[in-house]
Amino acid sequence: MKYISILSILFVTLISGCSGSAISTISLENSNHHVVIGNTVLANKLQFSHSKTQRNDGYLHASVEVMNKTDVTISLNYHFYWYDANGLEINHSPSASQTLIINPHQVLLLQGLAPNTAATQYRIVVGETYN
């Protein structure tokens, strides 16, 4: 019985210890559009709003505002991932990541254009770059 209790405690400790490194997902107004941030520290520094999509000549165009909530400049990289109506990722160029500098309390617009007309959904993965 003591063996089972020790295993239970170890299991709970392991799970709670790993939860700090989990990916934070911030959902925007529409449940089909997400911003994924690699860590909670960065997630607390940024605010995302005004998620919009529109079709231009059959291609999905997506945009979302990001605001730096801190008093320091942040260097970000972001990448749009595109999905079809079945939720399958549409192939994209691996070099499509963008880098930007966002000043304290500045609001910028992240924008992307789907690689083909099959895209119906998107996800943006945001990370902090370190120089």
pLDDT tens digits, one per residue of 27-57: 444 444 478 887 889 999 999 999 899 999 9
Q: Is residue 10 part of a domain?
A: no
Residue 78 predicted with pLDDT over 70: yes
Contact 34, 123 (CB under 8 A): yes
Q: Is residue 84 part of a domain?
A: yes
Where does the pLDDT of residue 95 fall: very low under 50, low under 70, confident under 90, or very high at 90 and above?
low
Q: Is residue 8 part of a domain?
A: no
Percent of the chain whose predicted confidence (pLDDT) is above 90: 58
Please give the tally of structural domains in the chain: 1
pTM, to two decimals: 0.71
Predicted local distance difference test score (pLDDT) of residue 130: 76
What CATH number is given to the structural domain containing 110?
A: 2.60.40.3230
Domain that holds residue 87: 23-128
Q: Which residues pair with 76 in a beta bridge?
A: 100, 128
Q: Is residue 82 part of a domain?
A: yes
Q: Is residue 5 part of a domain?
A: no
From CA 129, how far away is CA 77, in angstroms rounded?
6
Q: Is residue 4 part of a domain?
A: no
**Total residue length of the chain:** 131
From CA 71, how far away is CA 53, in angstroms rounded?
30
Between residues 115 and 30, the one the model is more confident about: 115
Where do the H-state alpha helices sit in 49-97?
Answer: none
From CA 32, how far away is CA 54, in angstroms rounded?
14
From CA 75, how far away is CA 99, in angstroms rounded?
7
Q: Is residue 16 part of a domain?
A: no
Predicted local distance difference test score (pLDDT) of residue 131: 61
Q: Is residue 7 part of a domain?
A: no
Residue 9 predicted with pLDDT over 60: no
From CA 79, how far away is CA 92, in angstroms rounded?
10
Beta-carbon contacts of 51 under 8 Å, excluding residues fewer than 6 positions away, are 28, 29, 30, 33, 62, 63, 64
